[in-house]
Amino acid sequence: FLAALGKEETLRTGEKRKATFLDSHPSSEERVRSANARAGSFARAASTPIARDRSDFVRRFDGLLVGPDPAQGIFRDNLFLHPDLDFALSFPRDWQTQNTPQAVMAKPLEGNALIAFLGLPASEGTDPRAAARKALSDAAQQNVPAEDGGAVRVGSTRGYRVRVLLNGNQLVERSYFAHAGGLFAIQTMAPQTETNTWRDAFDRTLASFRALSGDDRALITETRLALAPAKSGETLEQVSKRTGNSLGDAQTALFNGLRGDERLDAGFLVKIGRARPYVKRQPSSASE
């Protein structure tokens, strides 16, 4: 596991991680050496195997989701797509993006600005104007400078904006709007003196909000693990070409615990990726 973790980090970053003064844990390579040395001092206890053999074990992973889950929304370059909530939102090109359970965010590579898409709790209701009024009331109670930004368009949807000045300089604008039976907000933030610098990027993002088109939905795919028996003497590259593997060569080698240049035995089950259109999942029943 530790060896695979180190390889995954190298694959993700493009280079082996270098130790720094701030590290609080040993490197993966050091942990592997330490674990192997310690393991060599123990006798293996009798136990019942969790699978008959490798083939029996890897069959349990057939169909496992690999990578981002479209049910939580996915990025295609700077375009964020959420199939279950039926919306698309374009963030500025070349900004760094991140999708978290709390918010979908983007910030420029250089500069102090932020755009965040937020889903609000059901307790906030579904009325954007009421949400804006509550935000103003909360700011007044906390003695935070705030003002009513009035009506605003979020795509073709009517919303209401509130401006709040934090720490005397950070201007936060939150635009509340209703969509898909819920309440959402697009929040922008920048130093008050730099807001005009980012205004065009902020406004373009708000204007881009829309329902998904057919072309948008065609971009929403998910990758599931599948198992492909190798032919005698095949390499992983050959298996990938024959089976239409959607994973890269290095990722396929990592998933299978191989270097990537081995000649495989006949019947060796290779874990590959199958990309397929996303279909909204039905919620599981309480009895399942």
What pLDDT, in 10s, does the model give residues 194-246?
A: 999 999 999 999 999 999 999 999 999 999 999 999 999 999 999 999 999 99
> Whose CA is closest to 200, among 208, 89, 280?
208
pLDDT greater than 90 at residue 3:
no
Helix (H) or strand (E) holding 39: helix 28-39
Summary mean pLDDT of the chain:
92
**Phi, psi angle pair for 156, to nearest 5°:** -100, 10
**What pLDDT, in 10s, does the model give residues 116-156?**
999 999 999 999 999 999 999 999 999 999 999 999 999 99
CA distance 248 to 259: 13
Strand-strand pairing, 221-229 and 87-90: unpaired
pLDDT greater than 80 at residue 112:
yes
Residue 3 exposed, middle or buried by CB count within 10 Å (0-12, 13-18, 19+): middle
> Whose CA is closest to 109, among 133, 72, 73, 78?
78
DSSP 23: -
CA distance 35 to 70: 37
Residue 27: how many CB atoms within 10 A of its CB?
16
